[in-house]
Structure formats: C-alpha cells, structure tokens
Chains A and B, each alone.
Chain A
Amino acid sequence: MSEETVNSPVTAKKINPRIESYKQFWRRLLKNKAAVIGGLLIVFVVLMAFIGPWIITTFTDYRPNQTDLTNKLQGPSASNWFGTDSFGRDIFTRLIFGAKLTLYVGFLSVFIGGIVGVVFGIISGYYGGRVDAVIMRLMDVLLAFPGILLALAIVAVLGGSLTNVIIAVGIFSVPAFARVVRGSTLSVRKLEYVDAVRALGASDFRIIFKHILPNIMSPIIVQASLRIATAILTGAGLSFLGLGAQPPAPEWGAMLNEGRQYMFEAGHVALFPGLMIVLVVLAFNIFGDGVRDALDPKMKNR
C-alpha cells in the first residue's frame, strides 16, 4: 500500500457525540415502558390544553363559565360527560380549559426556579469560598421549610393570584436546583480541561457557559422534569386553599375545593379534577424517573 492510500481521508460517518448521546438517550428512554406512557400522557395533556379549548369553542356550545342552575350537581351523562358542578357548569369543559393553567404553573414556576437556581448553583460551585457559604446557607434556610408551607407564606405575603402562585412555587424550587447544580459544578470544575482553558486566559463567563454548563445539563434536565410534578401539585394545593387561582377560573385545585362541599351528594364534582391532578403529576413523575435513568451513565448498557 502506498503512503497516499494510507493517509487519504477516511470518509467515515461523522459521529457527533452530542447527537450520538441524544440518540442513545432516546433509545434508552423508549425501552422504559412506564416512561413512554408517562411521556405520551404529557403530550396528550399538552395537546388537550392548547387545542382542546379551541375545539370546544368552535364546535360546541359549552363554555367553562356558563352556568345553568336548573342543571346543577348532575352526575355524568351524555350531555355532561363528567357531570356538572354546583352552578351547573360542565366539569369536562372546565377541566379542559383548566389544563392550560395547570401547565402554566408547572412549567413557568420550574423555569423561573430553574434559572435562578442554576445561576446560584453555578456561582456557588465555581467561586466557592464565602460566596458559596452565603448562597448555600440561604438555600438551606429555604429548604428548612416544608415546601407547601414556604409557598403558602410567600403567597400570603404577595397576595393570592395565579401569578403569585407561580412566583411562590418558583422560589421554592430554587434550592433544589441550586444544590444539584452546585454539586455538578464542583465536580466539573476540577477537570483538567477547565484548567486548560483557564491557563489559556478564558474569562469566568466563557468557562461557565461554554465549558461547565453544557456538561452539567443532564442533572438539570432530570431535576426539571421531576420538579414540574411537585410544582403542579403545590400550585393545585395553593389554589385548593383559595390562595391561587380565584373563582371562577377553572383551575383544577380550585375546582377540587368547590367539589369538597358536595363530596357526599355529588362526589364527581371533586373526583374528576382530583383524578386529573393525580394523572398529570403521576405522568411527570414517571417520565422524570425515566429521563433520569436514561441519562444516568451507570445504567448505560441496560
């Protein structure tokens, strides 16, 4: 063989580890039946939340706040699939309109909490020392409160509304993110390639965003997918206590609370919103667990 043949470029398929690890992640996630079901449920709820109200308003006469007092507290029937509540409103319609609110609370609060938590965590882990001590003690204080109690206190201060619930749940998600991110940052910061770019004179900003953040995304994603479930539950809990969405908003937690008074005469009023909350929270939890397993390098060849 001549030298040239040896040195000619081999046009093998380029393997980008990013794409490759995504592919591997999907393969492992799809193997996990429970996670797939959870994922499909989430997709279903998201579609329901965004297309559902449009379908209902375009093709039917049902409206979420349309009262019909002659037809109140009726059980499930062909005209009212999930029955009606104490004002004669159709529960099915309300649930579909409420899905959006529930998802808002879940995603937005985790988004807010995630961003703040990641920033705190990275600063804490990267700079260490006194900054780290101050931030982490602050996080410890937040963690010392039981989650719902902390959210309750924040909403009590800010006043009851859905926006404040999102803020409150966001704040109470911060320490969880900060802790996870701090730990990962500490381990990545010690790697030699971070020293290498530092020796090249890279700014802290570049090191953090280009070399540390991309390498700690997995735990952040896992934390986010698990946190959404908690956030939804807390949001519904606050609305149940009357501190979140205000009537007549069709928030599931608030609907559950309304149904509470008629628990014995018309159980379905509380049953269906409750079921929906359980279903969505369960879906996010199962899916989050699946994501965690799929991203865990120790589970690689299973």
Chain B
Amino acid sequence: MEKQELLKVEGLKQYFPIKGGFLGRTVNHVKAVDDISFTIYEGETVSIVGESGCGKSTTGRAILRLEEPTEGKVEFRGVDLAGLSKRDMRKYRKDLQIIFQDPYASINPRQTVASVLTEAMDIQKVLPANERRGRAEELLETVGLLPYQADRFPHEFSGGQRQRIGIARALSVNPQLIICDEAVSALDVSIQAQVLNLLEELQDEFKLTYLFISHDLGVVRHISDRIIVMYLGKIVEIADKYSLFENPKHPYTKALLSAIPIPDPDKKKERIVLRGDVPSPIDPPSGCRFHTRCPYATEKCQVDVPELRTASSMKEGHEAACHYIEEIESGEKQPNY
C-alpha cells in the first residue's frame, strides 16, 4: 500500500522574541524550533523525543498554530495551515486535535463532562444539536468511562480518568491527526499503560494518526512507528523505531538511548554521560548544535551545520545529522571524554 502523506512540515521555525529596554524592543530571540522538516504518513505514530527545552512541545503547538510559527510550512493534506487566515484555520482544527500533558489543567473546572464534549461538537458543528448528548455518552464509553458520569464535574475524576475525558474531547470532532503532547507523562505508570493501550485501540478503530511528543523513551518505544530525535530546536535523527533503537547513528541519540535503565542488575551497560548542560537556545552554538557536548566533535563541527543524510549503512528513511557517521562507525574516530 502506498503511504499517503498526511502532514508535511517544512522549514518550521518558532522564535520567541525577548523584549527588553525601556521601549520594549525585541533584543533577541529564543530559537525554540529552528528550521525543522518532517513528514507524517497516514495511520502511523510518529514520536518526537528530546530533553526539556529542545522544542518538541513547541513544534506540536506551532503545527496547531496555538503559537503562530515564525516561518515555515505546515501542509495538511496539501493545504498550508500556516498560511491560512485565522477564520479558515478554524475549519481545519477539526482534523487536528491535541491531548495535553496536565489532566488537571486541561479541562475547565466549571464545565461538566457532557458540556465539555457537546461544546466541542458545537464549535465544529458536528452533528445536529439534539444528537450531541447521545454522542457524548458514546464517546465516554469509547474511552472507558461510563455514560452516567457525563454530568459530573472534572474534580470528581482521577487524573487518568480526566486524561480519558481529554481524549474523548479530542475525538469528539472526528479528527485525523492527534498530537499527544506528553499525554501520559503526568500519569502513574500503571495508568500510563492503560491510556497508551486506549490510544492504540482508538488508532485502530478510528484510523488515527498520532504525533506523540514525549521525553519518555520507554513509552516512545512502545507506541511509535517512527521516531524523531530533537536537540536544541533541530532534528538530529529520524528513523523507524527498530533502526533507531538498534542502530542509532547520531552521538546524541546514542547518549540518549544509553540513559534508558535496563531492568537487569547483572547486565553491564555502557553509559554515555554528556558533559555540561544544554546550551541556551537564545544563542545556540554555531555549526552542529551538539558540538559543545559531543565526544567526537572537531573543528568542522563548529563551523559547518550538518544536514540530515542517509549513510550507506543506514536503512532507507533513516537519517541523521552528523558529519562523521561513517568514521564513528568504522572506529576511525574515537570519543575523547
């Protein structure tokens, strides 16, 4: 089956101005997302991973235009969302939904569950008004809650249940793409598993596509088809799940993966500990943004920005942004810690 492009992000940039001085002029920018491009195909789950502040949530919010992107294209089925007027964008919002991290902040405490869901349907005019209530109850059942809970208020639910309400709200407008912004990070591990399984069931049932944003590699490994690794506003590696976990190419990805705990005390593992902190996104390092912390960095890395590329040892669709993929692989370059 030919894979259909659903969302194509091209050259997306999100700079936040830093105002300063007496007149509130823009003195600098936080380059939260700096020129990233990727494609999501219909029916797949793509994850974005990276440490805090790498721009993964910002990417999700920029796609939905919750924050207006500074530059770049976000094509959804060939329509550039970033170029639409606010009014036209509203119609497309039906197709792209988001599930938030904090289940306690993502529902208006003054609305009952039923009114949260019917309002969503009202905004997008799905279903005639008299059928919305029934649909809301159906949705609750779909996400594993009970219809009689429809008249309850958010404070009467647990965190996991609220997250299910958030999912029901996203589903209420029949979206095609759902962005899960750290959707399970705030939940207990046991609840995480339940919600992840629910998301997978819903994906099969409604033919959904997910953009899954997370810092939890275990969760990402469980749910994704493809994974995007971000560092300081740039994509450092894109690959399908197996290639990424078995055959990581970028030094940053390797370091990231080595941080996953292995539940076996006897097994020795090589832990790559990076030096220093993440540099400030206000004034990111020149060349390769990772060069300040990379054990393989050379002078070239300080000057030239590496492009995403596929080396001969990599499967198709696996790309990494490093000058020395081959050299590191052959052992020609050794890390200097």
Contact = CB atoms under 8 A, between A and B. Distances in A.
Contacts of A16: 153
Given A196-B98, A199-B97, A201-B123, A7 B105 contact: no
Contacts of B146: 7, 9
A170 to B, nearest CB: 29
Interface string A10-54: 000011111000000000000000000000000000000000000
A191 B105 contact: yes
A192 B64 CA distance: 14
Contacts of A133: 24
A199 B110 contact: no
A251 to B, nearest CB: 42
Contacts of A199: 64, 66, 93, 96-98
Interface string A185-227: 0000001110111111111001000110011000000000000
A202 B64 CA distance: 13
A137 B102 CA distance: 35
Contacts of B119: 197, 200, 210
A192 B100 contact: yes
Contact of B151 (A14, A17, A191, A202): A14
Nearest to A206: B123
Nearest to A11: B148
Contacts of A198: 66
B106 A193 contact: yes
A207 to B, nearest CB: 10
Interface in B79-97: 89-91, 93-94, 96-97
A201 to B, nearest CB: 4
A192 B97 contact: no
Given A16-B153, A192-B105, A197 B123 contact: yes
B123 A202 contact: yes
How many residues of B sit at the interface, in one of the four size bands?
A: 35 or more
B302 interface: no
Contacts of B94: 201
Contact of B107 (A193, A201, A206, A215): A193
Contacts of B108: 193, 197, 211, 215
A9 B64 CA distance: 38
B59 to A, nearest CB: 15
Contact of A15 (B64, B120, B153, B169): B153
B166 A196 contact: yes
Contacts of A200: 93, 97, 119-120, 123-124, 169, 173
Contacts of B106: 192-193, 195-196
23 contacts: A16-B153, A18-B110, A191-B105, A192-B100, A193-B106, A193-B108, A195-B98, A195-B100, A195-B106, A196-B98, A196-B100, A196-B106, A197-B120, A197-B123, A199-B66, A199-B93, A199-B96, A200-B124, A201-B93, A201-B94, A201-B124, A206-B123, A215-B110
Q: When A and B form their complex, which 5 residue pairs have the shortest distance between CB atoms, in order from nearest? A: A201-B93, A201-B90, A192-B106, A9-B148, A192-B105
